[in-house]
Homo-oligomer: A and B are copies of this chain.
Amino acid sequence: MLKEERHKIIIKEINLHNKVLSADLSEHLQVSEDTIRRDLNELAEQGLILKVHGGAMSKTFHYPFNGQNTVYALEAKQVIADKVISLFKKGMMILMEGGTTIMEIAKNIPADLQATFLTVSPQVALELAEHENIEVITVGGRLAKNANIHTGASVINELGSLKPDLCIIGTNGISINDGLTDSDWEVVQVIKAMMRAAANVAVVTIAEKFNSVQKIKIADIKEVDYLVTELPPDSPVFAAYRDAEKPVLL
């Protein structure tokens, strides 16, 4: 049996079943597991498969969202992500909303962080699933199409029985006087429930959104524990926030 022949069979097997076990292949192809492992290494180097402990899996199945859609204010969001991640500690249970900033955070979580992440966003869930050491739990429910997060009574219900250490939310509007605001009633209900559930609340937002107000109120500024933007905490933009006890500026 030629090596390339084995490779072909392995690829086919992975395409059929999305994954293969080294032990199964070894028996099926009548070669030692060492040889199979070498085969899998080669195929992985060629980028054809994704090698995992015990075998290999389909790459397409695992990395569905390679589509590079440019994110607005990406650099700012990466700065924000770095700051937020400094709040993450081992063993924490962290609840995340959706949105591009939160996605950026999810992408940049350190590989060695051990924590449990809850989210109401399928996109965030899939991004989080890329990290080996974290457990991902989706709070399911009716999927609101404009925001791509789960909403509805079942979500509120479910959130009521969770006690995360930290809750990360994006926001559409934020201002001293009107607090956090948004324009989607269903989304607002979910965010309220998330804030109620969590021990600490971090709001992430690009500075551009400061002092903008939307139609529906979510909460007062003083209910936010951490406020994270791309600007340094001593930026003049935050002059009005500095006297308040909360939120802590990052």
Please list the residues of chain A having a beta carbon within 8 angstroms of any beta carbon in chain B.
2-5, 8, 11, 15-19, 21, 47-48, 50, 52-55, 57-62, 64-66, 68-73, 99-100, 122-123, 125-126, 128-129, 132, 135-143, 145-148, 150, 158, 172-173, 183, 206, 208-209, 212, 214
Contact = CB atoms under 8 A, between A and B. Distances in A.
A218 to B, nearest CB: 14
A150 B143 contact: no
B142 A140 contact: no
Given A2-B54, A136-B142, 10 more contacts: A2-B55, A3-B54, A5-B57, A48-B65, A60-B68, A60-B71, A60-B100, A61-B148, A138-B140, A140-B141
Contacts of A172: 16-18
Contacts of A69: 60, 66
The copy count of this chain in the complex is 2
A4 B122 contact: no
A231 to B, nearest CB: 16
Contact of A137 (B5, B17, B142, B183): B142
Contacts of A147: 18
Contact of A4 (B4, B15, B57): B57
A16 B100 CA distance: 10
A239 to B, nearest CB: 22
Contacts of A132: 145
A137 B142 CA distance: 4
Contacts of A55: 2
19 contacts: A2-B21, A2-B52, A4-B62, A5-B19, A8-B65, A16-B72, A16-B206, A16-B208, A21-B183, A48-B68, A57-B146, A58-B72, A61-B148, A122-B122, A122-B125, A125-B143, A129-B148, A132-B145, A136-B145
A122 B209 CA distance: 29
A125 B226 CA distance: 31
A126 B148 contact: yes
A230 B99 CA distance: 38
